[in-house]
Amino acid sequence: MSANLTWTKSSYSGTEGGNCVEVASSSLTVHVRDSKDKAGPQLSFSPAAWAAFLVFAAEAQVSGVE
């Protein structure tokens, strides 16, 4: 199934390598993987869980929590 996904690299990922993630969405699942290990493991989330994570991450960034 992941062969049919369109992966998007994080806008926070630099061009020097390092820590980069890619995200792909299907109708029922949001997939996340390490951009340096495309054949490696993937995490899968429901759209609601992914949306909750994005809210949490944005709030943490604003408050300076890392």
Tell me the pLDDT tens digit for each residue of 21-64: 899 998 899 999 998 898 999 999 999 999 999 999 888 888 77
State how beta strands 21-25 and 30-34 pair: antiparallel
Q: How far apart are CA 5 and CA 64, in angstroms?
A: 33
pLDDT of residue 9: 87
Buried b (16+ CB within 10 A) or exposed e, 17-29: eeebbbbbeeeeb
pTM: 0.76
CA angle 24, 28, 34 (to 5 degrees): 25
